[in-house]
Structure 1
């Protein structure tokens, strides 16, 4: 009797399965797979770190500011009159006392001459009164009256001299006559402007210091200002405000810088570096900075037992090579790759940063 094809297929499959188990038991394949199935310990996270040494460094406070004239004064007329001469061009360097605007003299010289003539008359009267009094022909009261008249004549002369001098509107200090407001023919009333004077030597560099850094700045501390043109100027702090701006919570700062040739103008942008002492610091790439769960700025580093630690730091200076920070002590293995993917206290596998 011939067997059906379905039965032949089933018998063949069973034979193959039986043969598999026989061969597996003979060659110990089951034991080998069991050994491979044993659970393994989880791999440690990898980070890259670099050794950062501690160095003693001069701390600099960096302030964005601008140059400013030490003084800026609007020079005004003390009397009324028409401008008769304007001997100084605006933008010119002038000395203290130099005439900027000259008003018309008008009748002032005549009034002064009249006062001087009256003074001479009073002097003669006073001398005659004294002589007559010595002979008994004048009383002491009459002598005192002539002396009073003499004093009044003297005051009138002085008044005339002042009125005549006021036609010359002069520079109150040495500097630059920066802007002219009155030309020849302009009528000036008392208090009206002839022009503006600015003092550029010494020159000021002014800025505003954050409240976190104001305490480290002292009057007399050295400062270096780099202008937008690239020019570098050296000076010293002359003023640090004691009261903060209520809007910005910053303190006004003034640095005095010698400018004998008056070649540095007012209003130039400047970056001011001010020495604020020295102390331990670490130089590191800015990319190594992270924030902890409390929002503090800091870095993560590796302890001797290869566990991660966090330290808050303060940036004291930014340079092309990196940032200088304080808050660490001694040399540290700073995590520069992978610092954002590990937690404090976690053990890691450390590789040297390339």
Structure 2
């Protein structure tokens, strides 16, 4: 029996791989922040006197104009006080009329020699005292009128009611907040930032904001205030950004997303699955379009997250990088690309 010889040559394995074509993008490492729209100026309004609240003509969100009545207190005591002071003023004026007549009569008698200087001096003193009593009563009447006016709370400026803290029937003290008035003409974007973010925040940076539920509604602004100390509970710092001509759709209290507008670093984003290691340094497998072989290229990373990496240097735009099957590759190995990747390479 003669032996048989197999002349079949073993074919070199061509491994299929999945790749992406690199593209550069601008990137900065300052994360977006969620905040809310607030009024640039908010004023807590209350009564100058204590009393029982009998009327509140505004609710949360009510738009008011300067001079509009916001709330009233029970004014019965103040009306009674005004009436009593008005009666005292009338009595003082009557006393003054009598004192002036007595002074005039004593002056005439003194001039004709029928009275003494001491009697005239007494009449003059009584007249001056009566005048002083009238002035004092007039001042008390003005004070009583002011007290009566204090039972009405009016809007000092145009704005919107952003908070309500007292209900009808409640007894409020002097100075206690009844409503909060917010200026609608100027709006701020307010954020709470951690210490690490505040330290990296450029003070003159432009800030872009958009509504959380409507990203197409946007505005820009500048940082106007950074809180000098941290919130004792959250340990964050309040940042206020003054918005420039924000759209009407950005209403007070709406949630927004803010982003620091920086020039950014040019990076190449890749899936985290593309990351390999060469001599303890990050690397990726690159496909040579001429012969479909792979080579391992060292890169520098700007970001290494579980989902993606950002390559700062080591790759050029338009390079094909292997993103799947990297553990079974070696330099010079021929690989097979998907049909779509081959068409893109051509």
Is contact 1:93-1:176 (8 Å) kept? yes
**What is the CA distance between 1:65 and its match in structure 2?**
2.2
Report the more deviating stretch, 111-120 or 168-177. 111-120
SS at match of 1:206: strand
Once the two structures are superposed, the pairs formed by residues 200-219 of structure 1 within 5 Å of their partners are 200-214=184-198, 215-219=200-204
Task: Give the number of aligned pairs.
Answer: 302
Calculate the aligned-residue CA RMSD, in Å.
5.4
Please give the alpha-carbon distance, in whole angstroms, between the structure 2 residues aligned to 1:165 and 1:273: 48
SS at match of 1:278: coil
Alignment correspondent of 1:109: 82
Is contact 1:281-1:328 (8 Å) kept? no
**What is the CA distance between 1:100 and its match in structure 2?**
1.1
Please give the alpha-carbon distance, in whole angstroms, between the structure 2 residues aligned to 1:342 and 1:123: 114
SS at match of 1:327: strand
Question: Is 1:255–2:245 an aligned residue pair?
Answer: no
Distance 1:311 1:231, change over 3 A: closer
Is contact 1:301-1:310 (8 Å) kept? no
Question: Is 1:164–2:148 an aligned residue pair?
Answer: yes
Distance 1:285 1:198, change over 3 A: same
TM-score, length-normalised on structure 1?
0.59
From 34, 37, 45, the counterpart of 1:67: 37
Distance 1:48 1:55, change over 3 A: same
How big is each residue's C-alpha offset from its partner over 1:23-59, in whole Å with a ceiling of 9 and x where there is no partner?
A: 45xx9x6xx99xx99xxxx999886655535456688
From 283, 304, 309, the counterpart of 2:298: 309
Which ranges in structure 2 are unaligned for 5 or more consecutive residues? 108-116, 289-293, 342-346
**What is the CA distance between 1:340 and its match in structure 2?**
5.5
How big is each residue's C-alpha offset from its partner over 1:129-180, in whole Å with a ceiling of 9 and x where there is no partner?
A: 9xx9xx9x97xxx8xx979878866754553343232111123443223547
**What is the CA distance between 1:83 and its match in structure 2?**
4.4
The structure with more radius of gyration = 1
Once the two structures are superposed, the pairs formed by residues 83-102 of structure 1 within 5 Å of their partners are 83=53, 85-88=55-58, 91-102=61-72
Alignment correspondent of 2:111: none
**What is the CA distance between 1:222 and its match in structure 2?**
3.5
From 192, 208, 212, the counterpart of 1:223: 208
Please give the alpha-carbon distance, in whole angstroms, between the structure 1 residues aligned to 2:184 and 2:312: 42
How big is each residue's C-alpha offset from its partner over 1:289-325, in whole Å with a ceiling of 9 and x where there is no partner?
A: 64879x99x7736599933314222389xxxxx9894
**What is the CA distance between 1:97 and its match in structure 2?**
3.8
Distance 1:312 1:239, change over 3 A: same
From 38, 41, 50, the counterpart of 1:80: 50
From 269, 291, 313, the counterpart of 1:284: 269
SS at match of 2:79: coil
TM-score, length-normalised on structure 2?
0.60
Alignment correspondent of 1:13: none
Question: Is 1:238–2:238 an aligned residue pair?
Answer: no
Distance 1:69 1:211, change over 3 A: same
Which ranges in structure 1 are unaligned for 5 or more consecutive residues? 1-19, 317-321
Is contact 1:75-1:196 (8 Å) kept? yes
